A = this chain, B = another copy of it.
Amino acid sequence: MKLIVLVCSTMFSILVFLVIVPSFAEVDITYKHWGDINLGGLFPVHFYEESVQDCGELRGLDALKRVEAMVYMVRQINDNKTLLPNITLGYEIYDTCSFNAIALKQSLKMIPAQRLTSQCLSNTTDGPLPMIAGVVGAQRSASSLQAAILFGLYAIPQVSYLSTSDELSNDDRYPYFLRTVPPDRFQVKAMVDILLLYRWKYVSFINSDDTYGKSAQTEFRSRAADNDICLAVARTIPASTETYDELISDLLDTQSNSAHSTVVILFVQLETARNIFTAAAKAGAYRRFIWIGSDGWGNYGLEPVLNNEEVALGEFTLIMFYPRGVS
């Protein structure tokens, strides 16, 4: 059996989801509607579960809203007779499950060779699948990077809506990649500006174990050195295997250098931030730390601190700002 996701949408993403998940063994979610020119889409609809090495739980509404935004936009363009007269756009959207290997698996379905030969594999007489002219996605930098390596080989343009890693700024390596969001060095610069404003000279930096977190750490180390900011605890943490209690106990350790550090930068994804706050609450670390958060979890409102609000009191989070009137 296959995973079946039916998405019914009105103009503003009223979502009805019917999800049958008998097994994690196969990722086979497609949300498609073909037109004359077809766009691929890569969105993290589910989380990745490392223990089963496949897709796990559904992510929140935000991920689904982005899927719907793409579909809505394609429909709006098709309904407008002046934008692309006599041409209809189509879409074919896949779930990356927030993981680079799944992003690669889904991206493979969009390259020309796979599509030309789809009829061989399915033994139908439908003819080959229509080509994908370009791809919207992915969300996470690690997934976008994986897609960019593949799409680069086949000259398929790719535009990400949320991948901010500086690694992706390398036009020589990823010539077909573009994005509508600024790279992370601006975010890191803003963080350092906050530190300088409050004269916080001794801070900890926790980042996720992917291109998003790692390249931010590199950028931060360089900017921190230039501004005489010292690092107490610096840690790269994997998404799912880290013992968060140990991290909190390192941050709290009164015998170590970090005893005088109260400022902790969390350059991580949503679920990691949530785990860290839960561990901090368990350790009773109330009003002990000033957290500074990246857009990886800063974009999610109260979700990362839910039930641990008191631990997060006084946090700063960075989110992207789009001034009105700027197109």
Residues of A within 8 A of B (CB): 50, 53, 100-101, 104-105, 108, 113-114, 116-117, 119-121, 146, 149-150, 152-153, 170, 172-173, 175, 214, 218, 221, 234, 236, 238, 241
What's the nearest-Cβ distance from chain B to residue A169, in Å?
A: 12
CB-CB under 8 A from A241, the residues of chain B are: 172
Cβ-neighbour of A113 out of B121, B146, B175 (below 8 A): B121
A149 and B53: CB pair below 8 A? no
B114 and A153: CB pair below 8 A? no
CB-CB under 8 A from A214, the residues of chain B are: 214
Cβ-neighbour of A53 out of B50, B116, B175, B234 (below 8 A): B175
CB-CB under 8 A from A153, the residues of chain B are: 101, 104-105
A149 and B146: CB pair below 8 A? yes
Main secondary structure of the interface of A (DSSP, over half): helix
What's the nearest-Cβ distance from chain B to residue A29, in Å?
A: 16
Look across to chain B and name the residue whose beta carbon is closest to the beta carbon of A103.
B149
CA distance A121 to B121 in the complex (A): 12
Look across to chain B and name the residue whose beta carbon is closest to the beta carbon of A150.
B104
CB-CB under 8 A from A172, the residues of chain B are: 50, 53, 241
CA distance A10 to B176 in the complex (A): 44
CA distance A222 to B234 in the complex (A): 9
A101 and B152: CB pair below 8 A? yes
Look across to chain B and name the residue whose beta carbon is closest to the beta carbon of A100.
B149
15 contacts between A and B (CB under 8 A): A50-B173, A53-B172, A53-B175, A100-B149, A101-B149, A101-B152, A104-B149, A104-B150, A105-B153, A108-B108, A113-B114, A116-B120, A116-B121, A119-B120, A170-B238
